A and B are shown apart, each in its own frame.
Chain A
Amino acid sequence: MVIDTTVVIAESLAGKRIAITGATGFVGTALVERLLRSVPGCELVLLIRAGKRMTAADRLRREILKNDAFDRLREELGGAVAFDEMATRRVRAIEGDVSNDGLGLTEEDRAILATCDIVIHSAAAVAFDSPLDRAVEINLMGPTRVAQTLQSLGSTAHLVAVSTCYVAGNRRGRAPEELVSEGPFDLGISWKAEVAASRRLRSDVEAQSREPERLLKFRSDARRELGAAGGPALGGKTEQLRIRWVDDQLVLAGRARAAAVGWPDAYAFTKALGEQALMESRGNVPVSIVRPSIIESAVAEPRPGWIRGFRMAEPVIISYARALLKEFPGIPEGTIDVVPVDMVVATIIAVAALGPERAPRITQIASGSVNPMKYGTLQDNVREFFTKNPLYDNEGQPIIVPEWSFPGRGRVQGQLVRAKNVVTRTERVLQSLPLRGQQALWSARLEERRIEIERALEYVELYGLYTECEAIYDVTNLLRMWDDLDEEDRRTFCFDPRQMDWEHYVHNIHLPSVVSHARVKTTPGRSKIDRSARLRKGVLAPERQVAAFDLENTLIASNVVESFSWLATRRLPAGDRARFVLRQLAEAPTLLRLDRADRSDFLRYFYRRYEDAPLDVLAKDAQELLSRLIITKSFPAGIRRVREHRAAGHRTILITGALSFVVEPLRPLFDEIVASNMTVRADGTLSGELMGVPPTGETRAQVLSDYCAANGFSMEQAVAYADSSSDLPLLEAVGFPVAVNPETRLATIARKRGWLVEDWKKAPGAPRALLPIGPLLSERERRAGALQ
């Protein structure tokens, strides 16, 4: 009997309710768009994981419907209003997570899922370097959980699971459209055992990460990165480093486990076991599996070149175009199996439309067996493209792309590892030097360079395996489906890889799309948009309310030790001065060490030396100190900035660990000065003891937030200027942080986070004293001073 398998896809899906997981992903978004546009009769239920601050409905609106994939549909419908109306009518978000048993659905949402006719499961941890347990929970257990949830609902909806061709593992030659566990290369691995092992591994590694020595190491690494940033900031960083370490261990474990049993990475490995698990646990839920190979930008739908996210080959291509990746391992005659996303989506929809009875159990959508793109040809195309359309470096010079010699993976890795070591070592040296401002930025740039190299290294490790993969994916089921397709459906839902013109696709569709997505420089000449100028304008915008300033090295190139020395020597005769200077110098290393360890301890220790000093004399001398030391060493641009803030109507606040009487002469510059206060004895002498905690480190953030709260200002509208990583809590607390002459660590952080960095200098030509000591007074004045 000949069954007429010809279906009119849109018709057969009309009136159906389709549930989709992974709708925020690349394939998922394309799938939602295609169904809404080309299957007008269907309804969609999207299972979306809630974000940290976003509900499923928020994510639907912001991450899916706002995507430019929907531009075409919006236009076809005649504008945003009609589109929104259609979306509200046809699309519904339910909150759920495939890494939870039962998908974490509420009763109400379970009821909704129960009414679905088709479930398309496209959620996956697609990153090749996911931690093993995460890959297991999502890729391996995900499909099974979906199937089990359907069973528990008594649903027999058609489950279409999106997998990957690479489940076939590192094999050479034909890879048929069948379960790996049913093929000749089955290793008999138990998926249940893998799940148990990965969960155990997570708890083992978590335990290891909490061992005292490890925690100490994380703590010292955090300190190296942040410096004396205060308890909370260091604690946060330490925990962040621990979590990152745990993840790294699990990534390594995943890669090792996959390689050990013949898969390129944890992704393919867990996907393979996921298929097996699904088949074993699906019960009476009908299942079809669709296996795409490497998915790239759309060839036609919704528009040529549409892509979402930065995916598999893109980082490699951009790294190459920026001449970062000089070589890439691979075999020139090897096949690189790519399919455009719209063909993958069309295949999934076709499978869903055919229904469980008529759709093949497994459909591979790949190009290697019928219309292969050779790795060598791809490389030629890419090279030609970037020779014609080069990217430009920061100086506006075109970047010449290197010629690949197709070396082995080992050689490329060796090169990169050596480069990384050199950069890392230089970075260490730079970080240990007391650099500031421009020089500190070298170090920040170096870190960027290191991260780039590290990333390139990862690409080579991960993608290298794919370029070396010589499996040929069978597409018999796919082509049979194609042959049976109605003419009209063929036009609307094209999934025939034989129709691909690779050269045209690479040159005119994919590469332009990749380049425009990567936001790289594609025009010659220095960039005209000065980022700093834009940020500066933002900082001085009238809506800002408060500007907080650190003093030392932010507004003046001086410190508490200098001002103390100046004040202390002002009334000393020549001989005593020399002794004082020598004593100070001898103590310098101790002071420096203390300062690095904890700023407030240092201040308390250091300020003891003001004990017994008469406050009235100091206050008088501080006036002179303003001209002789503070203004001499000030950054005029910084002082100007304070005044610009005031002119813009912002409140200015100075937060400094310096003593109040020392900074008193700066009062006209600020609306508020928060400084260290020393208790004064009844006889008018200083006690050498501080009242309360000096405003340093995290205390500064607190001071500013108290000030804002008291005056009804918002921290979001506050600006803070500081120079050191110990001010991180303050900088992080405000909406507009500015790093001034940042030391190495802060320079790196500021650059990473896109903060405004100011390079303020002392007035050129400012007098420079060798030692910060007060000028010799006349004998008479000294005596007068001593008498007071």
Chain B
Amino acid sequence: MPRPGFVLEVDRSTPPTLFWRGENFSLEKLPAGRSRVIYAPEPLPAIKDVDAAIRHALANPIDSDPLKALMFSGMKLTIAFDDISLPLPKMRRPDIRQRVIEAVLDTAAEVGVDDVHIIAALALHRRMTEDELRHALGDRVYDAFAPRGQLYQHDAEDPNGMTSLGQTPHGEDVEINKRAAESDLLVYVNINMVAMDGGWKSTATGLSSYRSLRHHHNVNTMRQSRSFMDQHRSELHHSNWRMGKVLKESGPRIFQIETTINTDTFPAPFEFLSKREWEWGAKERATYLATTKALNRTPVKLARKIFHSIESPHQMTSIQCGEVEAVHKITTENVWKQQLVEVKGQTDILTMGIPFISPYNVHSIMNPILVACMGLGYYFNMYKGKPLVREGGVVIMTHPTYPDFHPVHHPSYIDFFEQVLADTTDPAVIEAKYEKQFAEDEWYKHLYRTGYAYHGVHPFYMWYWASHAMAHLGRTIVVGGDPRAVRRLGFTPASTMSDAFEIAQDVVGPSPTVTHLHTPPLMVADVS
């Protein structure tokens, strides 16, 4: 029976706490008597017979006829699936998406459906490489569909590839992939890692375009989403729901398949990362020492390669399918079951270790903008109720924040860093002054459509993701970060954790309370 998450009060006998530092980790001593560490619940048990569960779910959907009953010979069937941003790190083969899609295809074959397209619902993310597609879908699906042009990636800038479905009562344009829109049935295959994912957001975001996304991917929406992990208090979700309504009325029939996975994140030799420090034995201690020592001597490029080749052992804990909203309600409950930790009261200082990976740098580089987004966008928003850190409080993150960028994946990020952030770090100003120019840039569009680049506007979304935190916090400090890059982000660099605490006291006063978000695995704090 997995243990639930809990909050540890740090006293003098508490061993140092583990912090991620990009492609490395460190153990930091937190001040005794006024610090606490939030540990996530242990991984939930996985479903033993995954294929059977999938078959069962497809045959017994929620508020919907069984999948097979929705299919007919001669129909247009489109299967859309979550892209490379999920799950993190990538899953060991076979990926859940492969298993689900194979089951869907089997069903389609039984009915005699020939016109099947499989589309990576990547919105404005980068296109997946062949290897990545093979990893997510398996060689069988890839080899059967890709050469015939029936497995491809959503292209939000294809002038002939999008269909407008109208507007929401709020005047939000709803535009999705033309093939999906014109299909008799759209099957969406999702992996739900955090409560933000899934539901209407799958289709309304994953298969849409800049013209649609701009209505909820903006500073105002993000500041009204408190947090975007908590759907009912998230303007991001409200907008997606409104769009979902339009989809429901004028779009294709949608059969939503959602899965949840447990938080069994790291394989050997990195299991110690998920283990509570006072439970470390000689083996964990030795592995920690050996790993950090070795990583200290490893060139960062090699370290990146090593970490990005990690395949996570996480497994499926639930699958549900059928009508979007009904399905997503159950999915969200399942996610909460795995991730929710009750926390009493806010803190002055929230500390977090930023890992080597975020949803947007798989097989790539965690560049400074992604560091900001990971810390202030994601980790800061891992709350229900109130933010973990009080208004005017401080976030301290640990990450080397090299000013490194992947030129193929993140070309517009480089220019965002060199031009936009050099001018201002205020999300609202950035949005007003630069967004349109980057979003409509022909060169970025070209690289997004034909290369492996995130859309020109994507770095802006990363920055907006952090805008709620930026407005809420008194200061953000990065320990061990490249000072130039950290200052460019508008943050304060510190060389050690104790320096950071010193600096933070200028903002929050003496003897502040400290809370550490102990990741991995991911958790969401239910702050009362």
Which chain A residues border B445 with CB–CB below 8 Å? 668
| Contact present for A636 and B404 (CB under 8 Å) | no
Alpha-carbon separation in the docked complex, A632 to B407 (Å) = 6
Cβ-neighbour of B441 out of A626, A643, A784 (below 8 A): A643
Alpha-carbon separation in the docked complex, A382 to B303 (Å) = 61
Question: In the complex, which residue of chain A has the Cβ closest to the Cβ of B139?
Answer: A778
**With A765-B365, A768-B301: A631-B442 Cβ-Cβ less than 8 Å:** no
Which parts of B429-459 form the interface with A (CB within 8 Å)?
441-443, 445-447, 450-453
CB of B414 closer than 8 Å to a CB of A = yes
State the Cβ distance, B483 to closest chain A Cβ, in Å. Answer: 15
Which parts of A635-656 form the interface with B (CB within 8 Å)?
636-637, 639-640, 643
CB of B415 closer than 8 Å to a CB of A = yes
CB of A527 closer than 8 Å to a CB of B = no
CB of A407 closer than 8 Å to a CB of B = no
CB of A634 closer than 8 Å to a CB of B = yes
| Contact present for A669 and B443 (CB under 8 Å) | yes
CB of A623 closer than 8 Å to a CB of B = yes
| A–B Cβ pairs within 8 angstroms, 6 of them | A627-B447, A627-B451, A631-B411, A643-B443, A669-B446, A762-B407
Which chain B residues border A669 with CB–CB below 8 Å? 443, 446
CB of B408 closer than 8 Å to a CB of A = yes
Max chain B C-beta neighbours (<10 A), residue from A636, A643, A768, A778: A636
CB of B238 closer than 8 Å to a CB of A = no
Which chain B residues border A767 with CB–CB below 8 Å? 301, 406, 408
Max chain A C-beta neighbours (<10 A), residue from B405, B408, B451: B408
| Contact present for A636 and B452 (CB under 8 Å) | no
| Contact present for A668 and B405 (CB under 8 Å) | no
In the complex, per-residue mask of B5-32: 1 if CB is within 8 Å of any chain A CB, else 0: 0000000000000000000000000000
State the Cβ distance, A308 to closest chain B Cβ, in Å. Answer: 45
Cβ-neighbour of B408 out of A627, A643, A778, A781 (below 8 A): A627
**With A637-B418, A763-B407, A765-B365: A627-B452 Cβ-Cβ less than 8 Å:** yes
Which parts of B349-385 form the interface with A (CB within 8 Å)?
365, 367
Which chain B residues border A768 with CB–CB below 8 Å? 301
CB of A764 closer than 8 Å to a CB of B = yes
How many residues in A have their beta carbons less than 8 Å from beta carbons of B?
26
| Contact present for A636 and B446 (CB under 8 Å) | no
Cβ-neighbour of A668 out of B130, B402, B411, B446 (below 8 A): B446
Question: In the complex, which residue of chain A has the Cβ closest to the Cβ of B147?
Answer: A784
Alpha-carbon separation in the docked complex, A778 to B451 (Å) = 20
CB of A480 closer than 8 Å to a CB of B = no
| Contact present for B451 and A626 (CB under 8 Å) | yes
Which chain A residues border B415 with CB–CB below 8 Å? 636, 640
State the Cβ distance, A196 to closest chain B Cβ, in Å. Answer: 68
Which chain B residues border A519 with CB–CB below 8 Å? none
In the complex, per-residue mask of B32-52: 1 if CB is within 8 Å of any chain A CB, else 0: 000000000000000000000
In the complex, per-residue mask of B398-431: 1 if CB is within 8 Å of any chain A CB, else 0: 0000111111100100110011000000000000
Which chain A residues border B404 with CB–CB below 8 Å? 763-765
CB of B143 closer than 8 Å to a CB of A = yes
| Contact present for B406 and A665 (CB under 8 Å) | no
Alpha-carbon separation in the docked complex, A631 to B448 (Å) = 12
State the Cβ distance, B365 to closest chain A Cβ, in Å. Answer: 5
Q: Please list the residues of chain B having a beta carbon within 8 angstroms of any beta carbon in chain A.
A: 130, 143, 147, 300-301, 365, 367, 402-408, 411, 414-415, 418-419, 441-443, 445-447, 450-453
| Contact present for A634 and B443 (CB under 8 Å) | no
7 interchain residue pairs of minimum CB distance: A765-B404, A763-B407, A627-B451, A668-B446, A636-B414, A764-B404, A765-B365
Alpha-carbon separation in the docked complex, A353 to B461 (Å) = 86
Which chain B residues border A778 with CB–CB below 8 Å? 130, 143
CB of A422 closer than 8 Å to a CB of B = no
Alpha-carbon separation in the docked complex, A784 to B148 (Å) = 11
**With A631-B411, A631-B451, A637-B418: A764-B446 Cβ-Cβ less than 8 Å:** no
Which chain B residues border A632 with CB–CB below 8 Å? 407-408
| Contact present for A640 and B419 (CB under 8 Å) | yes
Which chain B residues border A784 with CB–CB below 8 Å? 147
Alpha-carbon separation in the docked complex, A643 to B442 (Å) = 10
| Contact present for A780 and B450 (CB under 8 Å) | no
| Contact present for A780 and B407 (CB under 8 Å) | no
| Contact present for B301 and A764 (CB under 8 Å) | no
Which parts of A751-788 form the interface with B (CB within 8 Å)?
762-768, 778, 780-781, 784
Which chain A residues border B411 with CB–CB below 8 Å? 631, 636, 639
Question: In the complex, which residue of chain B has the Cβ closest to the Cβ of A768?
Answer: B301
Alpha-carbon separation in the docked complex, A665 to B453 (Å) = 14
Max chain B C-beta neighbours (<10 A), residue from A623, A764, A768: A764
State the Cβ distance, B415 to closest chain A Cβ, in Å. Answer: 6
State the Cβ distance, B308 to closest chain A Cβ, in Å. Answer: 11
Alpha-carbon separation in the docked complex, A341 to B447 (Å) = 68
Question: In the complex, which residue of chain A has the Cβ closest to the Cβ of B304?
Answer: A765
State the Cβ distance, B409 to closest chain A Cβ, in Å. Answer: 9
Which chain B residues border A640 with CB–CB below 8 Å? 414-415, 418-419
Which chain A residues border B408 with CB–CB below 8 Å? 627-628, 631-632, 767
| Contact present for A634 and B147 (CB under 8 Å) | no
Question: In the complex, which residue of chain B has the Cβ closest to the Cβ of A642?
Answer: B443
State the Cβ distance, A778 to closest chain B Cβ, in Å. Answer: 8
In the complex, per-residue mask of A57-74: 1 if CB is within 8 Å of any chain B CB, else 0: 000000000000000000
| Contact present for B443 and A668 (CB under 8 Å) | yes
| Contact present for A764 and B143 (CB under 8 Å) | no
Which chain B residues border A781 with CB–CB below 8 Å? 147
Which chain B residues border A762 with CB–CB below 8 Å? 407
Question: In the complex, which residue of chain B has the Cβ closest to the Cβ of A643?
Answer: B443
Question: In the complex, which residue of chain A has the Cβ closest to the Cβ of B415?
Answer: A640
Question: In the complex, which residue of chain A has the Cβ closest to the Cβ of B363?
Answer: A767
State the Cβ distance, A608 to closest chain B Cβ, in Å. Answer: 29
Alpha-carbon separation in the docked complex, A626 to B402 (Å) = 25
Which chain A residues border B447 with CB–CB below 8 Å? 627, 631
| Contact present for B406 and A763 (CB under 8 Å) | yes
| Contact present for A764 and B403 (CB under 8 Å) | yes
Which chain B residues border A780 with CB–CB below 8 Å? 143, 147
In the complex, per-residue mask of A426-448: 1 if CB is within 8 Å of any chain B CB, else 0: 00000000000000000000000
| Contact present for B414 and A765 (CB under 8 Å) | no
Alpha-carbon separation in the docked complex, A763 to B450 (Å) = 20
Alpha-carbon separation in the docked complex, A778 to B441 (Å) = 34
State the Cβ distance, A315 to closest chain B Cβ, in Å. Answer: 42
| Contact present for A765 and B402 (CB under 8 Å) | yes
Alpha-carbon separation in the docked complex, A345 to B450 (Å) = 77
Cβ-neighbour of B405 out of A626, A627, A665, A764 (below 8 A): A764
Alpha-carbon separation in the docked complex, A4 to B398 (Å) = 98
State the Cβ distance, B200 to closest chain A Cβ, in Å. Answer: 32
State the Cβ distance, A711 to closest chain B Cβ, in Å. Answer: 21
| Contact present for A766 and B407 (CB under 8 Å) | yes
Given A665-B450, A778-B130, A780-B147, 12 extra CB contacts under 8 A = A631-B451, A636-B415, A639-B443, A640-B414, A640-B418, A665-B446, A668-B445, A762-B407, A763-B407, A764-B403, A765-B402, A767-B301
Question: In the complex, which residue of chain B has the Cβ closest to the Cβ of A784?
Answer: B147
| Contact present for B450 and A623 (CB under 8 Å) | yes
| Contact present for B301 and A668 (CB under 8 Å) | no
Alpha-carbon separation in the docked complex, A626 to B407 (Å) = 11
Which chain B residues border A623 with CB–CB below 8 Å? 450
Alpha-carbon separation in the docked complex, A634 to B445 (Å) = 17
| Contact present for A765 and B301 (CB under 8 Å) | yes
Alpha-carbon separation in the docked complex, A190 to B526 (Å) = 110
State the Cβ distance, A174 to closest chain B Cβ, in Å. Answer: 71
Which chain A residues border B414 with CB–CB below 8 Å? 636, 640, 763
| Contact present for B406 and A765 (CB under 8 Å) | yes
Alpha-carbon separation in the docked complex, A60 to B4 (Å) = 94
Which chain A residues border B405 with CB–CB below 8 Å? 636, 763-766
Which chain A residues border B403 with CB–CB below 8 Å? 764
Question: In the complex, which residue of chain A has the Cβ closest to the Cβ of B305?
Answer: A767
Alpha-carbon separation in the docked complex, A640 to B416 (Å) = 11
Question: In the complex, which residue of chain A has the Cβ closest to the Cβ of B366?
Answer: A765
Max chain B C-beta neighbours (<10 A), residue from A627, A668, A765, A766: A765
State the Cβ distance, B309 to closest chain A Cβ, in Å. Answer: 14
